Amino acid sequence: MIESYQNMLRKLAWSFSHTTGQPFEDLLSVGYLAYFTAKEKYQHGNRAQFSTYLYTVVKNALIDFCKAEQDEAISLEQFNPALLVSPLPTPEERLLFTTTIDQLSTEAKMVCKMIFSSPHEYATAIETPKKAKTKLKKQLRQLGWTYAKIQKTMAEITAMVREDRV
* DSSP, res 146: -
- Residues 150, 98: Cα–Cα separation, whole Å: 22
CA distance 11 to 127: 29
Global pTM? 0.45
**Structure confidence at residue 165 as a pLDDT band (50, 70, 90):** very low
Domains recognised in the chain with CATH numbers: 2-72 (1.10.1740), 81-165 (no CATH)
Q: Angle CA(102)–CA(127)–CA(21) in degrees, nearest 5?
A: 90
pLDDT in tens, 70-114: 766 544 445 555 555 546 667 887 777 778 888 889 898 888 888
Note the pLDDT tens digit of each residue in 124-143: 544 566 777 788 888 888 88
Report the distance separating Cα 124 and Cα 126, nearest Å. 5
- Give the DSSP letter of residue 73: S
